[in-house]
Amino acid sequence: MATFQTVKGFRDFDPEACARRNFIFDTWRRVARRYGFVEYEVPVLESTDLFRKKSGDEITSQLFCFKDKADRELSMRPEVTPSLARLAAARQRDYKKPLKWFQIGSCFRYEEPQEGRTREFIQFNADILGDTSPGTDAELIALAIDTMIEFGVSAEDFAIRLSNREIWNTFLTDHNIPAEQTGTFLQIIDKIERAKPEETAKKLEAIGLSLGTVRAFMDSANADHPAFADLRANLTARGLWQHVRIDATIVRGLAYYTGTVFEVFDLKHGLRAIAGGGRYDKLCALMSDGKADMPAAGFAMGDVVLGILLDKTPGAQFKLTSAVQDALSIDATLVIADEAQRPHALAALQTLRARDLRIDYAFAPAKVGKQFQAAEDRKARYAIVFGAEYPQITLKDLVARTQEEIPAHSLADTLTQRLAQPPTGPLIA
């Protein structure tokens, strides 16, 4: 039998990869809390109908879906929003509006894996439910911007692409295009950057528009459009408007979004969108058959493209690497140089860990040199030597390559104090 492998498009997170993941989680969580968002979670497995209801039957081709032993049609979630709508609709009377909720968890899509796309990926979802004011949209865009900045990605490295369904509605009205053509038209716009110009021109002509007219409007679409007025004033007051580019080609999910739409994208590497979202005022009503008519807006940020960007962005890379190094290191290793002192070392182990210090030790008798090597391997900052001199013990700073003799009873206090200081390397390298 061949060695077992992970399922295609799924990932193992070894300790280093998991520390990277946790750096991303911690950053998402910290910024969301700062913004007054509270965390929720929903199941990774839902009834397939939940996703059909939002996205239509076609969605099942992209789902990990199956029938369970009781013939229930179930799917691993491709996204979290339908579950959020289910939960918020069911519980809407229990919460004061607006709800500012965030979630972090895995989603699953049966798609061909490629650069920046895996079958399992982790999303950060932030949504505000129960409020229609443009301030809501501004709060979400500000959260997306501050999240990127907190990662160490700066204004030279990313921007927000912003649009609003309204600007196309105005355009279509101005050009006397009937409302029933809106869907077809937006599908053309959604693909305009990737499609051949002659094909786009042909499709536009079929609904009575020329590519020139559309292109001219797109080029002229700017922040002066009234659809952006409140958003612009709000983000300007926060000092964040500099991160925003108006881009009329941003349409995103067609049936889904109803107003503001935006993406976070990188400015240097041409990666896929790092995050995307917008206003979706009709989804809660749809998912609850009208029982809960809650306006909403939100965005999702995935971990895969973001991870690629962090690696390519020096400021972010530095933060990420520091966090990973910290997660993989410990504060001290106990070196038991005299086996007779093992019980004292174990008692100290307990005392130090009770102070929330990260301590390791050799489970079985081993040579002192091997124990020091283990301390280096575990990236311990200190080695604490329990030898025949006990109750005197030796505290070795493995970074500064210095050492001091201290009485055992002062170990916890001394070590806590030493660890509060940043490590210093040896004067002579």
Q: Which residues 88-117 are close enough to bind a copy of itself by CB under 8 A? A: 89-91, 94, 96, 98, 100-101, 106, 108, 110
Q: How far apart are CA 303 and CA 320, in angstroms?
A: 13
CA distance 75 to 108: 9
Q: From CA 370, how far away is CA 367, in angstroms rounded?
A: 5
Q: How far is the CB of 283 from a copy of itself (least distance, A)?
A: 13
Q: Smallest distance from the beta carbon of 1 to a copy of itself, in angstroms?
A: 6
The sign of the CA dihedral 342, 343, 346, 352 is negative
Q: Does 176 bind a copy of itself (CB under 8 A)?
A: no
CB closer to a copy of itself out of 14 and 219:
14
The reply to whether 409 sits near a copy of itself by the rule CB under 8 A is: no
Pairing of strands 244-246, 158-164: parallel
- Residues in region 177-236 near a copy of itself by CB under 8 A: 233-234, 236
Token pair recorded at residue 307: 């991870």
Closest to a copy of itself by CB, 90 or 195: 90
Contact between 295 and 129 under an 8 Å Cβ cutoff? The reply is yes
Q: Please, what is the minimum distance in Å from the beta carbon of residue 253 to a copy of itself?
A: 19
- Please, what's the b/e burial string for 68-104 (b: 16 or more CB within 10 A of its CB; e: otherwise)? eeeeeebbbbbbbbbbbbbbbbeebeeeeebbbbbbb
Task: Verify cis geometry, omega within 30 degrees of 0, for the bond prior to 98.
Answer: yes
Q: Which is nearer to a copy of itself, 4 or 427 (CB)?
A: 4
Which parts of 14-53 interact with a copy of itself (CB under 8 A)? 14-15, 18-19, 21-22, 30, 33-36, 38-47, 49-50, 53
| Helix, coil or strand: residue 333 | strand
Residues 302-341 contacting a copy of itself, CB under 8 A: 327-328, 330
Nearer to a copy of itself, 56 or 343 (CB): 343
Nearest distance, CB of residue 269 and a copy of itself, angstroms: 27
Residue number, 94 or 174, with CB nearest to a copy of itself:
94
CB atoms within 10 A of CB 112: 8
